[in-house]
Amino acid sequence: MTYTAEQLDGVRRIKRCRNYYEILGVQRDASEEELKRAYRKLALKFHPDKNRAPGATEAFKAIGNAFAVLSNPEKRLRYDEFGSDQEHVSTGQARHYNYYTEFEADITPEEIFNVFFGGHFPTGNIHMFSNVARDAHYYPRRHRNERVWTQEQEEEENRPQNSYSAFIQLMPVFIIIIVSVITQLMATNPPYSLFYKSSIGHVISRETENLQVPYYVDKNFEKNYQGAELQELEKTVEKDYIDYIQTSCWKEKQQKSDLSNLAKLYRDERLKQKAESLKLEHCEKLSSLIGMHKGG
């Protein structure tokens, strides 16, 4: 993997910083908005998907920790009083950044990044490293013969491709679309739906005999499914319904957790109340279904 001299210089600058204000490049009286702007710029610059220079991961962590502490009024006040301008004792050797362990944030660097950018790096996949050792290195070793990414290479990558090359690259997409269309034309309609679907005739409401799960069928359903066939079909209906409820329950919990994290990060009482009042309706349905299943 390659990196530029500018990226390496940036990592070295972060390591030389003596306090969180220097890391973010802001004044000591910086406002919350200034802290956010500084974090957003640096997080994108030093994220491991963007910066592969040695030490970039540690720099990214330092940036996230600095923002989390300084954006919290209580932690910032305590940091200003006791934690600022800490330095290692030097004996002629270069100073190295430390994590000021007594002033670490309660939220991980990747969680902060997720809040700002929705969990996805704008130009790549996000690296998760919250459970790894603090002193470990996460950058690949650079081969001595490997060339550094240059401006010429970047311009070469961005040059317009000819139409034939573009067609070759898009061919797999066309094949997938064609196969999908053919599959849809050949596929027959399922015998039931969990929801009302007039487009395929599933407008008649029914309930499974065991768990009373609602589902919809067409007008010819009773002619085709009776006795053992009906029982087997309803088992499939109940399984699909439970899968749907489980997925919906997970989404509700995730939404509640995201709101709680945002409220904690920004100390927002409105978000906190919204998170607490958010009902987990599908989770309640899931609990009810499990109870009925055990009772049966």
Tell me the three state secondary structure of residue 148.
coil
Spell out the residues 6+ positions from residue 173 whose beta carbon is closer than 8 angstroms to its own: none
Query: What are the start-end ranges of the H helices in 30-162?
Result: 32-46, 56-70, 73-78, 109-117, 151-158
Query: What are the start-end ranges of the H helices in the chain?
Result: 5-16, 20-24, 32-46, 56-70, 73-78, 109-117, 151-158, 163-186, 221-224, 227-266, 269-277, 281-295
Q: Which helix (H) or strand (E) holds 123?
A: none
CA distance 108 to 102: 15
Instruction: Answer whether 212's CB lies under 8 Å from 238's CB.
Output: no
* Count of other CB atoms within 10 angstroms of residue 261: 17
Residue type, 246: Q
CA distance 23 to 37: 13
- Domain segments of the chain as ranges: 5-82+103-115, 192-294
In this prediction, residue 128 carries a pLDDT of 35
In this prediction, residue 59 carries a pLDDT of 93
Instruction: Answer whether 110's CB lies under 8 Å from 128's CB.
Output: yes
CA distance 96 to 16: 6
In this prediction, residue 60 carries a pLDDT of 92
The structure tokens listed for 59 are 């720099």
* Count of other CB atoms within 10 angstroms of residue 25: 15
Instruction: Please say whether the structural domain 5-82+103-115 has been given the CATH code 2.102.10.10.
Output: no
Span 174-202, pLDDT tens digits:
888 888 777 766 667 789 999 998 888 99
In this prediction, residue 261 carries a pLDDT of 85
* Count of other CB atoms within 10 angstroms of residue 30: 17
Residue type, 2: T
30: left (phi over 0), alpha (psi -120 to 50) or beta: beta
Mean pLDDT, each 10-residue run in order, the chain (296 residues)? 87 93 94 92 89 91 91 89 53 40 58 67 38 36 40 47 68 83 71 91 93 93 92 93 92 87 84 88 87 65
Cβ burial of 73 (10 Å; 0-12, 13-18, 19+) is exposed
